[in-house]
Amino acid sequence: MELTGKIIAEFNERGGVSNRTGNEWKAKSYVLEVPGEFPRKLVFDVFGVDRLQAFNIQIGETLTVHFDIDAHEYNGRWFNDVRAFRIDRGQAAPTAAPEPQAVSEAPAPQVEQPATTPFEAPSATDELPF
């Protein structure tokens, strides 16, 4: 699957050691906002040091994120996992050309957008074991 949108927030990088293999791992989560009449948001993870370095995602970038969705069960509850496996830059969603304004019309007022703040990573007690 893939979605194109703007990165509006990022979580702190997290990592640990795999219980199964003993290998060290790192991951980071981002929030992608997909434009439209009713904008949608998607939280996705980038898993692995190599992908984190290769993707080098920055807040404010417009990206196409290719991702897989999977679910995991823990204590009878199910949780979704959305992982990016490829990032494309410079492929913004197509937009319609703006209609020309008549000379007699006043310019549209500028609306100031509120600043976004980065999300904080969950504390160690909030983490799930998968």
The count of C-alpha atoms lying within 13 angstroms of the C-alpha of 20, restricted to the half-sphere facing its C-beta, is 3
CATH number of the domain encompassing residue 74: 2.40.50.140
The pTM is what?
A: 0.66
Strand (E) or helix (H) holding 54: helix 49-55
**Residues 6+ positions from 22 with CB-CB distance below 8 Å:** none
- Say if 102 falls within a structural domain: no
Opening angle at CA 31, ends 49 and 77, nearest 5 = 85
Count of residues in the chain: 130
Three-state DSSP class for residue 25: strand
Residue 49 domain boundaries: 2-93
Phi, psi of 115 (to 5 degrees): -70, 145
Of residues 126 and 58, the one with the higher pLDDT is 58
In a domain, 99, yes or no: no
* pLDDT bracket for residue 22 (50, 70, 90): confident
Reported as a single tens digit per residue, the pLDDT across 91-115 is 544 444 444 444 445 555 555 555 5
Tokens of 52: 């984190």
